[in-house]
Each structure stands twice: as C-alpha cells, then as structure tokens.
Structure 1
Amino acid sequence: MSNKGRVAVVTGGDKGIGYHIALQLGSSGLFEHICITCQDHNQAQAVVDELQNQMPAGVNVCCSELVLGDTMSMTGFAKMLEERYSKIDVLVNNAGMAFTHSDPTPIEEQCKTTMNINFRGTCELTEKLLPLLRQGTDPRLINVISAEGRLSQLSEDRQMQFTDDNLTMPQLYSLVDEYERDVLARNHLEKGWGNSCYGMSKLALIAATKVWAHQEPDIKVDCCDPGYCKTDMTHMKGERDPADGAKCIVMPATMANPPTGQIFSDYMIASW
C-alpha cells in the first residue's frame, strides 16, 4: 500500500509509549503524515523536531495541543484535522491518566476524573473523529488499554452487562454513570463493581471498542495492552521498555487484514 497522503493520529504522542507508537508508525512506510497530541504546548516543537529527525524521507510530523475531556479542545482538534487532512487512516487513542496506588485522594474524587479522561474523553474524541476515519484508506481505530481492565474485577451479572453483544454506547455510558453513583455511595463493591477506577475506565473502553467494531463495519477497531512499561505513569517502575510496549499497538495498526473487535496483548490476540 502506498503511504501517499495517509494520516496517523496518536494522542499523547509526545512521550512514553505514545512517542514510540508515533515513531514506529512513521517508520513503517505506511504513512505520509504523523500527527501527535500533547498537553504542554511549550514542549511540542522540541518533540516534533526529535521525531522528525528519526523519520524516513517524505514523512511529516506535526503536534497539536489537546486536553482530553475538554470539549472545546477536542472540537478544535477535530476541526484542525478536517481542514488539514480531510481524513484519518489510523487513530490511536493512547492519551490517559492514572492515580498512583499510594495517592491519598479518596476513590470518590479519583473516580470522576479518571472516567472523564480515560473513558468519556476518549469516547467523545473518537465520536468526533469517526467521520474522518470513515474517509480513510483501510481505516483503523486502536484503543490503548491495560490488563487492569480485566472482566474478572466484576461480578458475573456485571460481566454479562458489559459483554452483551447488543450493548450500545448509551447503555455503556449509563453503566459508567451507575458505577460512579455507587462509588459516591460507597456501596460499589456490594453492587458488583471493581475497586480500581483506572481498571474500570479501561474495562469500559474495551467494551466501547467492541461496540464500535459492531457499529463501524468499514473500520477495523481493536484495543491493545502494551504491558507494564517504564513510563512517567508507572514512575519508571515498569518491566517493559515503552518501545516494546508500542510494538503491540502498532501491530493491528499496520498489519494486513487485521481482525476487528479484538484485544491484543503480548503481540497476540488475547481474551478479556
């Protein structure tokens, strides 16, 4: 496939796993344009220059400021992509956040922030960009997840709700809202929920991946667990180099005829 005009977008591509995803996508020979996002505009040009210097000839790198979960920021980003490229061929939803296990912030306060960024923000941005993905050549949507999004954190009844083949996005949002209410009421465990806000946000994103895979037959939609990597989010305590973690995400983004609605982990399809 020619890389002529093909566009890859990587959120949170200015450091860590996202940086290496952008670098590997640009080095694959499948894209002419690599667009990354960052929150710190002051660092953007330095990151672009560093990536650009490592790219093959003919690959162009740009960076745009994006605050995930901020509707105005996400709308502006979508408008910029439409005006500049008129399409997206690959979107990698990598940006996210996590409280550390030792953070004293009560779970009630952690919950809304985590779900608003990792789930609602990612979903809202994706919905804004789906029209551009539909215009892409062999379009792919890749959501970066975590092993903490495992189904086993839920009761069997809750598992059935999230794995229902007929689940819709409004129903998924309703489940997330219910989880938040139960966390605030401090009865989430007895209601069958998990005890990790980050884990629940990634579980909900896996469910969203499967919903989009059903709703968007012309887009290959998958999610990938990069593993426990040495990044700022893990305070460099991870067991895997971020470049190796990025390879798992790049695989379904670049492979010929990938599956859709699947989870990738350790460079292969995994179970939920």
Structure 2
Amino acid sequence: MAAAISRPPSTRVAVVTGGNKGIGLEVCRQLASSGITVILTARDEGRGAAAVAELKEAAGLSDVVFHQLEVTDAQSIALLAGFLEARFGKLDILVNNAAIGGVQLLPIEGPDDGSAPSGEKFSGMDARQMAEWMRTRCRPTSDAARAAVQTNYYGTKNVTEALLPLLQASSDGRVVNVSSDFGLLRLAREPRKHRSERRAMQHFSNEELKRELNDVGSLTEERLDELLSLFLRDFEAGVLGARGWPTEFSAYKVAKAAVNAYSRVLARRHPELRVNCAHPGYVKTDMTRHSGLLTPAEGAGNVVKVAMLPEGGPTGAFFALGEEAPFV
C-alpha cells in the first residue's frame, strides 16, 4: 500500500535529474531555497546522499530528498515514479538536467595533468578559445555517441513520459529540459557581455534536415527516432559532414537538438503543461572540464528562472541565459 502524502497539497514538488553536482546541484539548492520540496536524483547513491547532506547541513535546506535514478534504466525510472506517487501524489516541476558529453576525454598533458585543469588555465581566453581547447582534448567514438543519444535524448524523454501523469496531477505542471546553444540548428550569439569573440557557425548544414527539425507542426517522436538512428549510422560510416550533420561534438549537438524538438512536440501534445528548454550558458562544470564563462550557481539561475516562470507563461519555448530566444 502506498504511503500517505507527506506534504500539504499546496506544497510544490520538484524533481531534478543529475542533481548531485554542478548545475543540477545548484538547481536543487535554488529551488529548495524558494520553499519547494526537491527530490534530488543521481545515478550513484553515495554521491546523491552526500549532496543532500551538504544541502541540509551547509545550507540548512531540510526539504531535499534523495532518490536514486539512472535515466537510461526503465526500472529505475519506474521506481522513482512509484515513490513520487506514493509520497506526494503529484509533481509540479521536472528539471531534466542529467546529461553526458558524448566524447571520450583525453588526458590533459603538462602541469595541469588530470581531468580538470586549474582556473588559471583559462585566464584571458574567450568562449571560442575555451571551446577549441575542449575540442582538442577529446575524441569522438561510436560508444560515446550512442551513450549520449541514450542519456541526453532518450533519458530525458523516458523520464518525462513516465512522470507525465504526476505532472498532470499538478495544477501547474511544468517541464524544463536543460538544453544548450549547441542544440540549436545554428549557433546563436551570446548576449554581448558573454559574447567575447565567439562566432556564429552552422551546426547543421543539411537545410532539409534543419527544416524538418524546426517543423514542429509536422514533426513526430517516431520521426525523431528515425533521424537519431540515421545519425548513428552516419556516425559509424564516417559520413557526418557529407550528410550535413554537425562534425564537432556531434552526438551532444544532435541529442540536444532532438531534446529541443521533442520539447516542442510535447508542448503541443500537452497544452495543459509548461514545457520549455533552457540553455544555462557556458558553465564551469566537470563536463566542460571547468572551462566556461559562468559559475554553476549562475548557470543554474538561468534554469531556475525558467522553472519559476509565472503561471500561464510560455510553453514550447527555448530560453538562452534566462531570456526567450529562437530554436534556430
């Protein structure tokens, strides 16, 4: 028998995937600081429990609960859904933050030998130079590409679909899919204060593919499945450039573009919910090897701003650094 709901119905409940570090941990901190009960999820139970203890002990945030979640595991997702149903009976906010880089990281040579260089490494670099530094210290592999598609797209989709009934039980259910300007069909320029020398460049050179991904009125989840399968076949065959796919950080870009497209399809299918994408900015995290322009707290603030939009706000939208922006 399900346990009784432990919070008043008026208490807002949020789930954050990949919540044990980086942007996810800061999203949990900021949501909990706003009086929301937060379920912090992570693959690793020890790291997730330690993150909750940190929030409780260091920040005094008592309404944070840990639940294990592997977004690529159907049973793990089902256990989370069952826990939420039994304890709260609803879900108000779902922040799909869990993601991986889609590349194999190479060792960093020299005085910064290891996986994460010191902050001094990036002193004087602009965003373009940092991204180039990242590019030369990773390698695309088929295994990493498949893992990125499974985690970044299907993990996001499968968690969302499993929790839809709980989101619909809320009076104001909302989904925030943490995306990236790498998921745009072309790279958008950052606002001037973050732009530096970063140049606009095409991610997808296949115009037909771009039109299809941007045609939210006709695009279906089934077609997204077909396109992702085609991408992985083209990756294996070494013909990404010839077929008009992104050629650098390709799996991450394609998976995030698919998340953007799915978010729009979902928003159309469920107009009673608020479903939006949020680009937090170029943030100093493990995924970026601590390059970047923003701290995790700053990046999380751009996500939380979307999660906390006024009732009746936009749905099916893309937000860059907290401001609504085009998907293309």
2: distance between equivalents of 1:197 and 1:145? 13
**For 1:94-109, what aligned pairs fall within 5 Å after superposition?**
94-98=97-101, 99=103, 100=105, 101=135, 102-106=137-141, 108-109=142-143
Deviations 1:137-190 (A, max 9, x none): 211100001111120222111011111122111111111111111212222222
Q: State the secondary structure of the residue aligned to 2:287.
A: helix
Instruction: Show the counterpart of 2:309.
Output: 255
Cα pair distance change 1:160/1:194, threshold 3 Å? same
**For 1:209-220, what aligned pairs fall within 5 Å after superposition?**
209-220=263-274
Q: State the secondary structure of the residue aligned to 1:232.
A: coil
**For 1:154-233, what aligned pairs fall within 5 Å after superposition?**
154=204, 155-164=206-215, 165-195=217-247, 196-233=250-287
- Mark the structure with the bigger radius of gyration: 2
CA contact under 8 A between 2:176 and 2:307: conserved in structure 1?
yes
CA contact under 8 A between 1:210 and 1:261: conserved in structure 2?
yes
1: distance between equivalents of 2:178 and 2:307? 12
Instruction: Show the counterpart of 2:16.
Output: 10
CA contact under 8 A between 1:27 and 1:55: conserved in structure 2?
no
Q: State the secondary structure of the residue aligned to 2:218.
A: coil
Shift of 1:228: 0.9
1:43 aligns with 2:47: yes
251-260 vs 198-207, which moves further: 251-260
> Match of 2:25, as an amino acid?
Y
**What is the TM-score with the length of structure 2 in the denominator?**
0.77
Instruction: Show the counterpart of 1:111.
Output: 145
2: distance between equivalents of 1:13 and 1:179? 29
2: distance between equivalents of 1:67 and 1:168? 26
Instruction: Show the counterpart of 1:34.
Output: 38
Deviations 1:50-85 (A, max 9, x none): 2124256xx511011111211222222222222221
Deviations 1:245-270 (A, max 9, x none): 01111112112132111111122111
Q: State the secondary structure of the residue aligned to 2:245.
A: coil
Q: State the secondary structure of the residue aligned to 1:239.
A: coil
Q: State the secondary structure of the residue aligned to 1:256.
A: coil
Percent of pairs identical after alignment?
36
2: distance between equivalents of 1:74 and 1:256? 29
Out of 148, 153, 176, the residue aligned to residue 142 of structure 1 is 176
1:244 aligns with 2:298: yes
1:266 aligns with 2:321: yes
2: distance between equivalents of 1:25 and 1:217? 24
> Match of 1:177, as an amino acid?
S
2: distance between equivalents of 1:268 and 1:210? 17
187-196 vs 199-208, which moves further: 187-196
2: distance between equivalents of 1:77 and 1:62? 12
Unaligned runs of 5+ in 2: 1-7, 106-134, 187-202
Q: How many residues align?
A: 266
> 4+ residue runs of structure 1 moved beyond 3 angstroms?
none
CA contact under 8 A between 1:6 and 1:137: conserved in structure 2?
no
249-258 vs 143-152, which moves further: 249-258
1: distance between equivalents of 2:9 and 2:51? 23
1: distance between equivalents of 2:9 and 2:179? 27
2: distance between equivalents of 1:85 and 1:236? 36
Shift of 1:3: 8.2
Out of 63, 71, 74, the residue aligned to residue 74 of structure 2 is 71
1:127 aligns with 2:161: yes
